[in-house]
Amino acid sequence: MLGKILSKLCTAILFFSCFFVSAPSFTFAQDGGSFFGAFNSNANFFIRDENIGAVDIPQYDNQKFGADAWLNLNYNYKKVKVGMRYDLFNNSNLFDPNGSYTDQGIGMYFAELDLGKLDLRVGHIYDQIGSGIIFRAYELRPLLFDNALFGARLRYRINDNWTIKGFTGKQKFLFDTFDAVIKGGSVDGYVQLGSEENPINLIPGFGVVSRTNSDETIQKLVSALQSYIEPSERIEAIAFNNYLFSAYNTLTYGNFSWYAEAAYKSPDVFLDPFATVTTFTGAKVPGRYVRESGTVLYTTFSYAVKKIGITIEAKRTEHFNFRTDQTLLLTRGIVNFLPPMMRQNTYRLTSRYSPATQDVSEQAIQVDLRYNLAKKLSGLTNFSYIETLEGETLYREIYSQLQYKYNRKLKMTAGVQLQRYNQAIYEGKPANVTPDVQTITPFMDVLYKFTRKKSLRVEAQYMSTEQDYGSWVFALAELGLAPHWQFEVSGMYNVIPNTDNPNIAAEVRGKQIFYPTFGGVYSEGANRYSLRYVKQVEGVVCSGGVCRLEPAFSGVKFEVTSTF
């Protein structure tokens, strides 16, 4: 009964918030606390288009409409913080791009109490240990990824320099939780060495995380392993409890900074997509449960002076797949976070091929160099290389750009990107018919400000490749009329299509198809409204190293974002 009342109450709040999204931030009288929040909603109108493969999912076939909405409400009063988030999904394609998901309810709530040196939080917890390699609870809304821990966390400040925390709970999944119990803790500190004029700062830490499997997960693993024919493929022992450990430290001295972290995972059963299993016919197929311990070594160096800055990042990962349920796949049940090792590109064509972080076998390095060549001329060069521990190339990128600021009105950016992308590994396509994608992508971006309130930005990009869909050209014009309006028109054209790729649907393969986008954005205060017509090719969508393959889209997108 209480659940129904809360659901109706939240539905009413969400309904009225759609009309009053311009409400100001609420601050009550002295000692009265403060109330604040945010609202975000996406509405998609699906228009069937067989020419680009935008077919054969429920939204195109019969539903025609899908929507997602989130309403965050928070209240702070003295030493108490409380908050909740209402989630709504109507015919949504976020959960499964090829399916439809409908549900609504309270997706997150918490209460936090400050007791001096001790902080207590119960409910949904977003937190991490170190860089997140052994534990990170966070949200990626574009992928409907939310692995908050539902439980309790205690954090105790030993003194001004040292803090200890502990937590326990179950991982969130939509409006429910997975069965496994997650618990862990960390100690973080601060140490200063050297003189006051030239201090050496150390920020050390140590963390541990444990997972206790549910009986149901153990039974599912036992059933899967019993089907293995070859004795060498079988696993004799499955642990109820598994552990992760991590030690990390940040060292800063003058213009130099160095972060290092080492993590270890106790022997654990997980699905290795590269290992093979023997079928009843004697064939070897990929995807077998194995039992292995795991390690991650991660470090980043940065150094900056007046005209130059350099960052070097390296990582080695071996058998570090860790989920709240070992039978889950894709983005489901991930407990930790492995830092991505590629540049976060923003242009349409330079970001078309983004590598997902590999947790079984990966070693990578990335170098980012930024420099000022003259008063008005600056540049950057980035190199990233990712391979398996056996030396198979997964991803390689060389990116370089120059930016010229002629005056306050005119700014120009030009550059080129060279990529090699292992499409078979990253997108799970047949290796025998899926060669690595190799691209050369020059681009140019020009921004001209007519006045302080009127500006025009123009992009031009060209991707040359013989793999996947073939070569592309992309152009964009964006008109800004501050402080309220922004209009955009863009187009992506398959100028030299690939006619021999069996991975592309027959109705799309070899066709020179134009993908237009046009629309506008209206902003007023803390409120933003966006309406666009979009036609988009199939591709990979990534956020923070977590990626998934999404089908082509054709239709209208409407978005509302507000804070109050």
Question: Is cis: bond before 483, omega within 30 of 0?
Answer: yes
The pLDDT > 90 percentage for the chain reads 77
- The whole-number pLDDT of residue 237 equals 81
Residue 514 CA to residue 304 CA, distance in Å, equals 44
- The whole-number pLDDT of residue 542 equals 80
- The whole-number pLDDT of residue 10 equals 47
Whether residue 110 is predicted with pLDDT greater than 70 in this model: the reply is: yes
- The whole-number pLDDT of residue 16 equals 37
- The whole-number pLDDT of residue 226 equals 84
What phi, psi does 216 have (nearest 5°)? -65, -40
Cβ atoms within 10 A of the Cβ of 233, count?
Answer: 16
pLDDT digits (tens, 9 = 90+) for 550-563: 889 999 999 999 99
- The whole-number pLDDT of residue 236 equals 79
Mean pLDDT of the 285-304 span: 94
Residue 30: pLDDT band (50, 70, 90) is low
- The whole-number pLDDT of residue 163 equals 97
Are 471 and 464 within 8 A, CB to CB? yes
pLDDT digits (tens, 9 = 90+) for 342-366: 999 999 999 999 999 999 999 999 9
What's the pTM? 0.89
**For all residues of the chain together, what is the average pLDDT?**
91
Are 149 and 182 within 8 A, CB to CB? yes
Mean pLDDT of the 146-159 span: 96
Lookup: tokens for 116: 């001096």
Work out the end-to-end distance of the chain between its first and last CA atoms, rounded to an integer number of angstroms. 31
Among candidate residues 366, 249, 252, the one with its CA nearest the CA of residue 303: 252
- The whole-number pLDDT of residue 31 equals 65
Whether residue 14 is predicted with pLDDT greater than 70 in this model: the reply is: no
Among candidate residues 533, 545, 527, 536, the one with its CA nearest the CA of residue 40: 527
Are 382 and 367 within 8 A, CB to CB? yes
Mean pLDDT of the 437-457 span: 97
Specify the DSSP element, H or E, that contains 503.
none
Q: Which one has a higher pLDDT value, 155 or 231? A: 155
Lookup: tokens for 19: 């009309």
Residue 559 CA to residue 277 CA, distance in Å, equals 46
Q: Which of 20-24, 279-283, 312-316, 381-385 has the lowest mean pLDDT?
A: 20-24
Q: Which residue has the tokens 């060549």?
A: 373
| H-state helical runs in 152-270 | 215-226
Residue 48: pLDDT band (50, 70, 90) is very high
Whether residue 452 is predicted with pLDDT greater than 80 in this model: the reply is: yes
Q: Which one has a higher pLDDT value, 1 or 404? A: 404
Mean pLDDT of the 176-197 span: 94
pLDDT digits (tens, 9 = 90+) for 472-526: 999 999 999 999 999 999 999 999 999 989 988 888 888 999 999 999 999 999 9
Number of separate helices (H) and strands (E) present in the chain: 4, 31
Whether residue 6 is predicted with pLDDT greater than 50 in this model: the reply is: no
Cβ atoms within 10 A of the Cβ of 527, count?
Answer: 16
Whether residue 5 is predicted with pLDDT greater than 60 in this model: the reply is: no
Whether residue 22 is predicted with pLDDT greater than 80 in this model: the reply is: no
Q: What is the DSSP string of 7-41?
A: HHHHHHHHHHHTT-TTPPPEE-STTS-EEEEEEEE
Mean pLDDT of the 304-323 span: 95
Whether residue 434 is predicted with pLDDT greater than 80 in this model: the reply is: yes
pLDDT digits (tens, 9 = 90+) for 376-386: 999 999 999 99
Give whichever of 47-56, 147-156, 229-238 has the largest mean pLDDT.
147-156
Whether residue 447 is predicted with pLDDT greater than 80 in this model: the reply is: yes
Whether residue 304 is predicted with pLDDT greater than 90 in this model: the reply is: yes
Q: Which of 1-5, 317-321, 326-330, 543-547 has the lowest mean pLDDT?
A: 1-5
Mean pLDDT of the 458-482 span: 97
- The whole-number pLDDT of residue 394 equals 97
Q: Please list, in sequence order, all residues whose beta carbon lies within 8 angstroms of the beta carbon of residue 291, skipping any fewer than 6 positions away.
A: 235, 237, 238, 267, 268, 269
Inter-residue long-range contacts of 159-164, CB under 8 Å, 24+ positions, other chains counted: 161/189, 161/190, 161/191, 162/187, 162/188, 162/189, 162/190, 163/187, 163/188, 163/189, 164/188
